[in-house]
A and B are shown apart, each in its own frame.
Chain A
């Protein structure tokens, strides 16, 4: 099972994305997009022209301003029950951002702890932990998420839990590899000689040295988490309506595609833009911080 490297959002090798736009642009543009996302999420109530769940039956299915019949009152049009698409896209940023932050915090912590333990202690512990990791990596996570949503019902915490259950594995694998190398480093050996405990070495000596790959991995997984959350919400296993999330907005628009394309077009575009920004920034960081990690 050495074949799971291509999983997660990091399927494409960096040289590829880098080759497209040269120089600092690969840093400036993604950072701008992500900063805008964070600001949009925080200041959603001030930016959105309407409340995201405000229903207006007299203003149903209005097209965006640049189409025939559209107006600047609803820049991106309205949906089946007259809710403003732009406002919903703006509020949708909150879901994407907060789910990503929570999931990354949970999976990153679990993955780092297990990875350091496996890599540093080695032996049976390592073999055992890596076997669990392999199982997780080979598992179609979306089905576990659907199973969870079936049992406890779809909701915010179901999504976070569902994406976290299998999401720690790529972290554990990467960090374990790093810890394995660091275990043999001189500073670790010296710490052992002066009698430091394994726990102390792992926390004080190994951890600071895996921060760089960890940052790269975190950035690269933003896209993966946002895509997964959107897919789950699209399927009805994620954020339930009426809370706007980009995934459930696309789902709302699916059956109206022949009359109102804008309902699903704009949220999908938002997802694509943010994921693209996360992937590019991850590549840039990797090249700057740790060029050895090309395969990540």
Chain B
């Protein structure tokens, strides 16, 4: 177990270095950063001063080292437009993103469990097919478009829900529903297939032979084990949530980090976008690390397989 954790930790560190290099290179390879600061009136000296301010006159390796040590101190730089630390701007918006992400995660997990189990136990019934149909649509229709159509139906036509903004619980309904539509198909498929695997196993047969009621067998014995697979995808689900949140927050003018990244894009404020990208990448990696360790703790086979 110790060995497994150490190897996983090392892998995470390597991945972190990989991501920092990717972003560092992208930012520098895609143009002259001083272009973002200078105006038509800038002289050669101004440009040289900007280069010195940004540390661009130093050797590349030293630039990378400064970039990484700043990161390690939680310093993501300063916004070009707002003149405020990027970390502060992200932290300010974080609660909005998290409340949206957590509530939609909870709703889709719950729905995925119920629908996934029902689809697995009642294969090829009306319910199973209905769920399939929803999943196919959810995968093919663009999330932003579905969200706008939902606004058209529920805010413009029936006037039941607010079209955008935050504040009341009613403001959560449409954004959460959009994100759920995004995530539900994948999660539900996972629950369904892992449930089908579990239902095939010996101990479920034993539970049935023992004469336990079908409801107990499915919802208590089988579900507990069928949950492991969906939970291990937590890191990816989080990545999906953030991706979905960038779009959803923009459709609904939800003041989270997704909205912040697009506001920064409009102003070409690259330190802000860079900070958000880095932070999300680190979060995804850490969640993956945590889940893998938990998983190895629960299931000893994993420890040997992966080391």
Contact = CB atoms under 8 A, between A and B. Distances in A.
A275 B232 CA distance: 28
Nearest to A166: B22
30 contacts: A3-B232, A3-B233, A6-B189, A6-B236, A7-B236, A11-B139, A12-B139, A13-B189, A16-B136, A131-B14, A135-B15, A135-B18, A138-B285, A146-B262, A149-B265, A150-B265, A151-B26, A151-B31, A151-B36, A152-B30, A235-B247, A235-B265, A236-B266, A247-B144, A250-B142, A253-B148, A268-B148, A271-B145, A272-B140, A275-B142
Contacts of A250: 142, 144-145, 148
B233 A19 contact: no
Chain A contact-residue range equals 35 or more
B186 A143 contact: no
Interface stretch (B53-61, B99-107, B216-224, B276-284): B276-284
Given A13-B189, A147-B277, A6 B265 contact: no
Interface stretch (A75-83, A183-191, A254-262): A254-262
B129 A20 contact: yes
Interface string B123-166: 01000010011011101111111101101100010000001000
B26 A147 contact: yes
B247 A12 contact: no
Interface stretch (B86-94, B207-215, B267-275): B267-275
Interface stretch (A55-63, A104-112, A226-234): A226-234
A247 B251 CA distance: 13
Contact of B136 (A1, A17, A227, A251): A17
Contact of B132 (A20, A131, A151): A20
Contacts of A7: 236
Contacts of A265: 149
Interface in A196-241: 223, 227, 230-231, 234-237
Interface string A107-148: 000000000000000000000000110110111111110111
A93 interface: no
B101 to A, nearest CB: 12
A139 B276 CA distance: 12
Given A235-B247, A257-B156, A140 B239 contact: yes
A276 interface: yes
B97 interface: no
Interface in A243-296: 247, 250-251, 253-254, 257-258, 261, 264-265, 267-268, 271-272, 275-276, 279
A6 B186 contact: yes
B235 A148 contact: no
A4 interface: yes
Contacts of B19: 135, 139
A167 interface: no
A261 B145 CA distance: 11
B288 A271 contact: no
B243 A140 contact: yes
Given A20-B133, A140-B280, A271-B142, A235 B250 contact: yes
A9 interface: yes
A16 B135 contact: yes
Given A139-B239, A150-B269, A6 B190 contact: yes
A276 B247 CA distance: 21
